Amino acid sequence: MIVILEKNITDKKMDEIISLLEENMFSVYKSSSEEEVILHVSGGKPGFNSKNLKHLEGIADVIKTDESFKLSGRKNKNENTLITLPGYEGVEIGGNGIAIIAGPCSVENEKQIFEIAELVAKCGARILRGGAFKPRSSPYSFQGLGADGLKLIRKAADTFKLAVVTEVMDTRHVDLIEEYTDIFQVGSRNMQNYPLLKELGKRKKPVLLKRGFAARIEEWLLSAEYILSGGNEGVILCERGIRTFENFTRNTFDLSAIPVIHQKSHLPIAADPSHATGLRQRVIPMARAAVAAGADAIMVEVHNNPQHALSDGPQALEPDQFCLLLSQLKRIAEVIDRKII
C-alpha cells in the first residue's frame, strides 16, 4: 500500500500518521522526492479498512496494489477455469470450444419446451435455457411456472440429451432448483444478492453469473468471489448488456468486457445478445460479434412458433435464423482457431 501525503503537510501531522499506522501494525517506510513524500506501507492489523485512511487530514491519496478479487483474478491462478458437466461428454465452457446455450425466455407449457428443446438439439447446441422463476419489473407480469416449469424443462432436456440452465432468485429455492438444473443462473438484478451467492458457493453445480446491468467489472468479479470463496469453483460470467443513456437500444452490449475478463480473470465468459439487444434482427450480428470478440459461450433465446409472433418475445430467434446463425458462428470461430460446441 502506498500513502501519498499532502504537499503542505507539517512534520507533526506526518509523525502522527506514521504513529497511527504503526499502532495498527503496519511497517512504514518514508520516501521523499522533489515532487512528493510518500509512505510505503505493508502489513497491518487484520480487518483494518484502509479505505478510511484516505480521508485523514494530511493524506492526499492511498493506493492499494492488491486486486480485490483474489480467487477470480488471473494473478493467483493463471490457467483458464474449464467447466464440465457430469453426464454431458464434450460439453465444456472455458476451453477451446464455444458453447451454445439456447431456449425460450420462460418455460410456458410442455409442447413449447419440447418443441424448442428438439430444435436446439437438432441445430447442434447442447445446453437448454428456460426460466421457471422469472424476475419481472412489475408484480403484474407473468412470474413463471415455478416448480412445474422446472419439471418440464428437465424432462424436455433429458429427452433430447441437453444440459439445463435455469434461474434461481430466492435462497429458499436453491435446494429445489438444484434437483432439476445442471447450471444455476443468477440474473442481472441478483448479481449483488449476497445471501444467494453465499448459498450457491456451498453447492457443487456451476453458476452462470450474469453481470448486473450497472455493475462495474470489478464488482462482477467480487460477486464471483462470493461463490468461489464458498468452495464452488464453477463460475461462468455472462455479459448481457449494461445501462447507459442510449435509448434506441434496450441495453448497451459491452463486448469489450470480453477481452477485459480474459485479461483479469481465469473464469470463462459467456455473452447473451438476446437480452442485450432485445430484437432478433440485432441478436444475429451481435452474436457474431461476441464470438469474434472471444466469448466462451453464447446464450440466445429461440422460439418454436414463427406464425404467432405475438406470444413470443421480440428477441427470440426463429428456428431457421437459429440454425443459420450457428453456421455463421462456426466459420467465425475458425478464424480465431476455435470451434462451436
For residue 190, state whether it binds a second copy (rule: CB under 8 A). yes
DSSP codes of every residue in 217-241: HHHHHHHHHHHHHTT---EEEEE--
For residue 12, state whether it binds a second copy (rule: CB under 8 A). no
User: Please, which residue, 121 or 235, has the CB nearer to a second copy?
Assistant: 235
Q: Please, what is the minimum distance in Å from the beta carbon of residue 1 to a second copy?
A: 7
| Interface pick for a second copy out of 16, 115, 118, 170 (rule CB under 8 A) | 170
Q: Which residue has the cell 453456421?
A: 327
Q: Residue 320: CB partners within 8 Å, gap ≥ 6?
A: 306
Secondary structure class of 191 (helix, strand, coil): coil
Q: Please, what is the minimum distance in Å from the beta carbon of residue 27 to a second copy?
A: 7
For residue 109, state whether it binds a second copy (rule: CB under 8 A). no
Q: Please, what is the minimum distance in Å from the beta carbon of residue 34 to a second copy?
A: 5
Of 92-100, 119-127, 167-175, 317-325, which segment contacts a second copy by CB under 8 A?
Answer: 167-175
User: Please, which residue, 92 or 312, has the CB nearer to a second copy?
Assistant: 312
User: Please, which residue, 71 or 83, has the CB nearer to a second copy?
Assistant: 71
> 340 φ, ψ to 5°?
-90, 135
Count CB atoms within 10 A of the CB of residue 219.
17
For residue 25, state whether it binds a second copy (rule: CB under 8 A). no
251-280 residues near a second copy, rule: CB under 8 A: 252-260, 263-264, 276-277, 279
Count CB atoms within 10 A of the CB of residue 177.
23
Is-contact 254 283, C-beta < 8 A? no
Q: Please, what is the minimum distance in Å from the beta carbon of residue 19 to a second copy?
A: 12
User: Please, which residue, 26 or 114, has the CB nearer to a second copy?
Assistant: 26
Of 94-102, 124-132, 145-153, 303-311, which segment contacts a second copy by CB under 8 A?
Answer: 303-311
Single-letter residue type at 182: D
Q: Please, what is the minimum distance in Å from the beta carbon of residue 190 to a second copy?
A: 7
208-247 residues near a second copy, rule: CB under 8 A: 212-214, 216-219, 222-223, 225-226, 229, 242-247
Quote the CA–CA distance of 260 and 165 in Å, as a whole number.
25
45-84 residues near a second copy, rule: CB under 8 A: 47, 49, 51-56, 60-61, 63, 65-66, 68, 70, 75
Residues that bind a second copy (rule: CB under 8 A) add up to a total of 112
| Interface pick for a second copy out of 171, 178, 318, 321 (rule CB under 8 A) | 171
H helices of the chain, in order, are 11-23, 110-122, 147-159, 174-180, 194-201, 217-229, 257-264, 273-277, 280-293, 319-335
Region for residue 146 given its phi and psi (left: phi exceeds 0; alpha: psi -120 to 50; beta: otherwise): left
> 183 φ, ψ to 5°?
-130, 130
For residue 153, state whether it binds a second copy (rule: CB under 8 A). no
User: Please, which residue, 84 or 332, has the CB nearer to a second copy?
Assistant: 332
Quote the CA–CA distance of 192 and 124 in Å, as a whole number.
34
Q: Please, what is the minimum distance in Å from the beta carbon of residue 161 to a second copy?
A: 29
Quote the CA–CA distance of 198 and 224 in Å, as a whole number.
10
User: Please, which residue, 67 or 118, has the CB nearer to a second copy?
Assistant: 67
For residue 307, state whether it binds a second copy (rule: CB under 8 A). no
| Residue 276 exposed, middle or buried by CB count within 10 Å (0-12, 13-18, 19+) | buried
